[in-house]
Structure formats: C-alpha cells, structure tokens
Structure 1
Amino acid sequence: MSTLNILSGGAAQGLVASMAPAFKALTGFDIAGEFGAVGAMADKLRKATPPDIVILTAALVAKLAEEKLVVAASMTDIGLVETALAVRTGDPQVSANDATGLRDALLASDAIYVPDTQASTAGIHVANVLQQLGIADQVVARLRIFPNGATAMRELATSKARRPIGCTQSTEIISTRGVTLSGALPPGCELATMYTAGITIAAAHPQQAHDLIDLLTGAGQQEQRRRAGFISGRD
C-alpha cells in the first residue's frame, strides 16, 4: 500500500481527512501519520521520524526549514485558525465580548478542557490568557489538560461536569462530535494562527506531498477550508 506520511498539528486534522478521498483518487496514496500538539510534532521530526510532509504553525515550519529539516521552497500557507470557546452540544452558548466576559465565563465553569499548555499553540495561549485575566490560580484545579485539542474536545463532549467549557483551536472544535463552537476569544485575548505545510528534506514521496499541498491550498477548496475552520489562506 502506498502511503504519504504526515506530522501535523491537530488543527489541520479535519481538513486533511476531508481531502483524503480526493488525494487517493489523484495519487493512489493513502495518508497516515500523527496529529497533535505542534511542539511535540516538531520534536518527532527532529528525532528522525521520517514523514513526507509537515503541517504546523508558520513559525515552526520556518524554524524547521532553518534547521534543514523542511524544504524552504515548499513552504505554503494553508490558512489562519482561531483559538475559540467550545461547549457540549446542547449546553447554553457561552459568549465573551470582552476580557471581562471571558473572565466571568471561565470562572462560572466547573471544568475547563484545554490542550497541552506547554506544547500546543492553543494550550500555551490559554495559559497566558488565564494569567492575563488574573485567574490562573483560581481555576488551576478546574483545568482538564490533554495532549492535544482533539482529545480535549472528545473529553468535553462526554464530561459529567455541571458547566464545562473548552478552549482550543476552532478547527478541532468543528471536527469533534458532541461539542459546539461557541465563539472566538474576545479582542485583547484572541489568537489567530497561520498554519503552513512543508515538504521534509527526507521525504520519500515529495511529488505526492506537493500534490497534497496543492489540494489543501487550491482555490477550488476555499469553501472546504472555511467549513473546516480556516478563515483565510491563499484565496
């Protein structure tokens, strides 16, 4: 079986999965690999895991290109992904129009589901926002931290807490059954992260990696990217 190997941030998992049938039809290749916290994925590449392609934050892909692990000329932006709030499907929506509203929403929750606060883009941002809002110590016992946003959202979906809330990248919320996107973080607390694809120096299948990048970023996939949660890109 011919397989294109990928290391990717969890933010792109839903989009990649949606493109897999078209990619298979075009190339005859399946897509396999890992999706998780971007820092962890970058470390896997550095430790000689040999994927064909990476999809990580633009800053990380640029750094990997500097480290001669990614072909600089192959770097292509896919789009921006917002860090957002999530609730269990069926629970009341949580709105936060400003920092005070976000602070109140977090304090009103008895469980806060987030990705890795040291290795994931959204998790690091959540930790910083809690400090910014002055409530990090108050909510530390309520944090439910998981290796990546997709896992955090699956756990939120089955949470038995009275009033749980989640915070991760919008793409991971949209692609998880049982949770609902409740809105982006308010001005002053927001984060929109550019995700970029790059072909690795050691790629076994560079042409197919290029084909996947074309599929992910092509003008014909603008609506598919939007549905997956990417708010801009090469369009």
Structure 2
Amino acid sequence: MGALHVLSGGAARGLIARLREDFHQHTGRTIEARFGAVGLMRDRLLAGEACDVLILTQALIEELVVAGRVLPDSARALGLVRTGVAVKTGAPVPCLETPGAFKDALLAARAIYFADPAKTRAGTHLMQVFQRLGLMPELAPKLRFFNNGSAALQALSEAQEAEAQGVLVCTHMTEILATPGLQCAGVLPKSFELATIYTAAITARSEQPQAARALIEMLAAPEAVADRRADGFE
C-alpha cells in the first residue's frame, strides 16, 4: 500500500510521531509527513505537492474549504496550541508569570531564538510583542531567526552547554514538548499570548480519502485526549 501524504504545521509533529505505528498497524500504510510553517505548507499544497491530510490553523483550513482545496465535511479540530518559552535542560528557568517577569526574562537573555517573522505568524506575533513592550532597541542584537519553531528548538537542543547559556526559544508548546534536551519555562503571559486552534482535513485531491479519514479520526478521537494534551494541545 502507498504512503499517506501529510502536510502539517510543526505543531502536530509530536502527535503524528505518536500515531505512526498504530496507523500502520490499522491500515497497512505508512505516513509520509512534511512539517513547517503553516503558510509554507499551504503554499506546497497550492503548488501541487501530493497531500492527503492537511493540518493547519483553523483559519487557513477554512480559507482552503472556500477555495475548494479541502473537503469541508472532513475538518476536525485537534485543539488549542499556546506559545511558550524553552531553555536547555539544566539551565536556569526564568519566571514568566507576569508581563513584568516576562520582560525581565527577555532583557536577561543572551539570545532569543524564534521563527522568522517574515515567514510565520508566530514570528510576526513575537515581534509585535517585543515592540509593545518597547524593548526592540535592547532585543534587536539578541534575536535569531529560523525557518520555523522546530528548527529554533533543534538548534538549542544541539548546542553545547556554554553556547546554550542564556538562550530562550519562543515557539508553540507542542514543538517544545516534542523536542528532547529542552525544558519548558511556561507559556507567554495572558496579555501577550498567541493561542491557535489547529485543524486536520482531507484535501480535495487526496488519492486515499478513506485512509486519510482514518488518520484524522485517530488524531481527533475522544480517547486520544490525553495524548493530545501530553503533546501540548488543549
């Protein structure tokens, strides 16, 4: 049997990894998944890349339903994903409980890794937060942009201890929890949070709609609530 093709925002990487084996046992199919910024995944679909299941923000899925690119009756919400902060395991964990504490953590950081604001909504949001805090003059020399949040996390995970000192990564909680070698410091304060609903749907060009529906049912099943929460979906 052929592989089921998935295009997904990085937020669902851990959830897909958790279900790969069960999906193969139930369907005999493997999952071939690409992860990245949701806008890039949408563009890959529109450019004609093979895709059976699309996992993007609810807003983007709704746009693609209107455009006739996904099957409207197939869309299932997976949950709300918040944006958080990670540090290297063993490094001091900053307090993020209040806007003031978050501001202090940013000012104390040696470097701040996050997704490129020119390519991702999360990156754009964080830049707006830094501007609202009035910190851009102080933070600008510390900012390090990556193609997506997973790449930022991986860079810190692989960094040597000395290089990782004082580095914060700001990205989706789901990506933080799926990356070994890192510790979650917490979510952004309420007044600065970015919380996004992620939704899975079958593409209109899917050559395996039955298998695609089976995967979505596994992802969104009530009995999978604990797994989704463990992976950062609320």
Query: Is the 1:110–1:161 Cα contact (8 Å) retained in structure 2?
Result: no
Tell me whether 1:168 sits opposite 2:171 in the alignment: yes
Name the CA distance, whole Å, in 2 between partners of 1:40 and 1:136. 27
Query: Percent of counterpart pairs with the same letter?
Result: 41
Tell me whether 1:48 sits opposite 2:48 in the alignment: yes
Aligned AA for 1:220?
Answer: E
Aligned residue pair count: 231
Aligned AA for 1:105?
Answer: A
Aligned AA for 2:138?
Answer: Q
Aligned AA for 1:27?
Answer: T
SS in 2 for 1:93: coil
Q: Provide Cα deviations, 1:171-229, integer angstroms capped at 9, x if missing partner.
A: 10011011111101012001211000011010011111100000001011111111111
Aligned AA for 2:118?
Answer: Q
User: Which consecutive segments of 4 or more residues in structure 1 shift more than 4 A?
Assistant: none
Q: Provide Cα deviations, 1:102-125, integer angstroms capped at 9, x if missing partner.
A: 111111101101012133232222
Q: Which runs of 5+ in 2 are unaligned?
A: none
Name the CA distance, whole Å, in 2 between partners of 1:202 and 1:124. 31
2:145 alignment partner in structure 1:
145
SS in 2 for 1:180: strand
| Alignment partner of 1:180 out of 169, 178, 183 | 183
1:81 alignment partner in structure 2:
81
Name the CA distance, whole Å, in 2 between partners of 1:132 and 1:198. 35
1:5 alignment partner in structure 2:
5
SS in 2 for 1:119: coil
Query: Is the 2:96–2:185 Cα contact (8 Å) retained in structure 1?
Result: no
Q: Which runs of 5+ in 1 are unaligned?
A: none
SS in 1 for 2:192: coil
1:66 alignment partner in structure 2:
66
Q: Provide the TM-score with structure 1 as the length reference.
A: 0.95
Query: Is the 1:38–1:119 Cα contact (8 Å) retained in structure 2?
Result: no
1:154 alignment partner in structure 2:
154
Query: Is the 1:109–1:165 Cα contact (8 Å) retained in structure 2?
Result: yes
Q: Provide Cα deviations, 1:103-150, integer angstroms capped at 9, x if missing partner.
A: 111111011010121332322221121111111232122111111111
Give the alignment's Cα RMSD to 1 decimal.
1.2
SS in 1 for 2:191: coil
Aligned AA for 2:216?
Answer: I
Aligned AA for 1:52?
Answer: D
Aligned AA for 2:32?
Answer: A
